[in-house]
Amino acid sequence: MRPAPTPFPLLTAADDAPVDQGRRAALVRQLRARGIADERVLTAVGAVPRHLFFDPGLASQAYQDKAFPIGAGQTISQPYTVAYQSALLGVKPHERVLEVGTGSGYQACVLVALGADVHSVELEPSLSARARRLLARLGARAALYVGDGAAGLPEAAPFAGILVTAGARTVPPALLRQLGVGGRLVVPVGPSDGEQRMHRIVRESATEFRQEIFEAFRFVPLRGSSAGAQPNSERIGGTNRM
């Protein structure tokens, strides 16, 4: 297999001072202590300069394990959530991955650092444009789109992995259809005014899916015309895991 590409070839010393590297190393230790055991994910989180995704006045807070608002009613997810979802996705180098909800671009950068072929869809044009500029500054190779992420990206399907960064009331059926056999969908599912449980759904055949349910989180609601659609022909079996 080809080696994974260098994730951020344009990152310079001016972008990433020693104090930021130290804060990031401390964050990685904190995530490991909280139970994130996937060393590839921890390495990826440790490679991404999260402070660059913040306004300069807030950059000193970037390595706190907290979510922060980024405008348009959206947030940059807390690092634990990003690491948790990335570990569940289990992405391998060069796999084609769809991210639903580009937001700041931080999660996309973590997926790039894992070696994925990243496609990311964002409903808000202003957020997508900002993320595009930042990823270009870093040299992070990802294809960004503006559109209804709950409808997926059929022109680039099938995907080995799909990761949803907003809370869905139900599992969007379009995303199930765009998984390749063996592909994984990681999506938080639950009411928009409360907690959502993290779901991982694996496509086992053309019509059969295996579902696992994990911890509870709180996400901003998934928006778009397809966000509340109900699956019809797909058969989903499942288990609960904590």
pTM equals 0.91
**Alpha carbons 37 and 153: distance in angstroms, whole number:** 31
Which one of the listed residues 60, 77, 192, 226 is annotated catalytic? 77
| Three-state secondary structure call for residue 153 | coil
Backbone angles phi, psi at 104, to 5 degrees: -75, -20
The DSSP symbol for 111 reads H
- Give pLDDT tens digits along the chain (242 positions): 566 667 899 999 999 999 999 999 999 999 999 999 999 999 999 999 999 999 888 899 999 999 999 988 888 999 999 999 999 999 999 999 999 999 999 999 999 999 999 999 999 999 999 999 999 999 999 999 999 999 999 999 999 999 999 999 999 999 999 999 999 999 999 998 889 999 999 999 999 999 999 999 999 999 876 655 554 445 566 655 53
| Structure tokens that stand for 6 in this block | 């260098």
Active site residue 77: yes
